[in-house]
């Protein structure tokens, strides 16, 4: 599964899996259905109230130019005000993220919206699909111009901790942390990912994150505070015991 890493201003690395072509197509279908259903209902309501008779130019504006502009505006407004998510993306747990910067700008979303025209509307999605399938970051032309990518907010593994952790599964002599049974795989995945990032990016921000997490876990389990130098060893012990007692 392809992924990208983004860096926060605190120099913490966050890894996201890239959305697949199928997921992006599904989100676009949902957005298209929602937009055109709303546009159809509003248009018919407008015409019935005002009783207008449209000429050729009026029909062209009503059924071509306005929907085209409206569909771009729909994407721009939702992505700008909803943190990179249209309704379709939200339903499928996808999100637009900027590359090379942590904070998105209005230009990111504006360029993506404008390039919907060649990527989707004028090519029936073929142009955008070819770019998404053929680029390393699964970017359509609008993504490349705007320097953005579309990522998953949920893991494709659906948080199956037992399938992805590579930890010695030998039996433990005694249960040291019985309250671990109250935690979920999702909770322990946070522990796993924090450890992985600490090992890969051993900097001040990740050492602090490791210590803060060990402190929170100790409080939840009713244990005394863990010294900072013991944080990594403590969290590894929690992961190993969690797997043994819940498998």
Mean pLDDT value across the chain = 84
Continuous H helices in the chain? 21-50, 56-60, 66-81, 87-91, 106-114, 116, 126-134, 141-146, 161-164, 185-200, 204-220, 231-246
Confidence (pTM): 0.69
* CA–CA distances in Å: residue 63 to residues 75, 107, 125, 163: 18, 28, 19, 51
The tens digit of pLDDT for each residue in 102-113 reads: 789 999 999 999
Q: Tell me which residue of 180, 190, 167, 177 sits closest to 240, measured CA to CA.
A: 167
Total structural domains within the chain: 2
What pLDDT is stored for residue 172 in this prediction?
59
Q: pLDDT tens digits for 158-173?
A: 444 554 444 444 555 6
72 and 93 in one domain?
yes
Q: In this model, does residue 153 exceed pLDDT 50? A: yes
User: What is the arithmetic mean of pLDDT over 75-82?
Assistant: 96
In order of 29, 69, 106, 219, the CA distances from 113 in angstroms are 16, 10, 11, 47
Asked whether the predicted pLDDT for residue 140 surpasses 70, the reply is yes
- When pLDDT is averaged across residues 189-204 and rounded to a whole number, the result is 84
Q: Which domain holds residue 230?
A: 161-246
**Residue 58 Cα distances to 52, 62, 224, angstroms:** 10, 6, 74
Same domain, 140 and 179: no
The domain boundary, picked from 152, 183, 199, lies at: 152
Residue 3 pLDDT > 80: yes
pLDDT of 171 reads 56
18 and 77 inside one domain: yes
Do residue 125 and residue 167 come from a single domain?
A: no
* Alpha-carbon span 103 to 42, nearest angstrom: 35
């Amino acid at each position: 599964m392809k992924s990208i890493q983004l860096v926060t201003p605190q120099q913490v690395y966050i890894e996201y899996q890239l959305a697949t072509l199928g997921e992006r197509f599904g989100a676009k279908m949902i957005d298209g259905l929602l937009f055109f259903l709303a546009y159809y209902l509003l248009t018919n309501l407008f015409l019935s109230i005002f009783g207008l008779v449209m000429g050729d130019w009026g029909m062209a504006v009503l059924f071509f130019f306005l929907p085209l502009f409206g569909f771009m505006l729909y994407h721009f407004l939702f992505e700008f005000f909803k943190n990179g998510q249209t309704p379709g993306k939200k339903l499928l747990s996808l999100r637009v993220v900027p590359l090379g910067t942590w904070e998105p700008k209005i230009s990111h979303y504006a360029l993506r919206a404008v390039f919907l025209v060649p990527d989707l509307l004028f090519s029936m999605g073929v142009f955008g699909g070819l770019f998404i399938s053929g680029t390393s970051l699964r970017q359509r032309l609008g993504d490349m111009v705007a320097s953005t990518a579309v990522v998953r907010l949920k893991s494709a593994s659906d948080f199956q901790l037992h399938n992805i952790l590579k930890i010695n599964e030998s039996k433990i002599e005694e249960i040291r942390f019985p309250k671990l049974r109250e935690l979920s795989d999702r909770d322990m995945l946070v522990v796993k990912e924090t450890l992985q990032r600490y090992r890969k990016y051993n900097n001040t921000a990740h050492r602090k994150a490791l210590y803060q997490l060990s402190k929170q876990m100790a409080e939840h389990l009713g244990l005394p505070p863990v010294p900072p130098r013991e944080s990594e060893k403590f969290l590894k012990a929690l992961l190993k015991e969690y797997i043994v007692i819940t498998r």
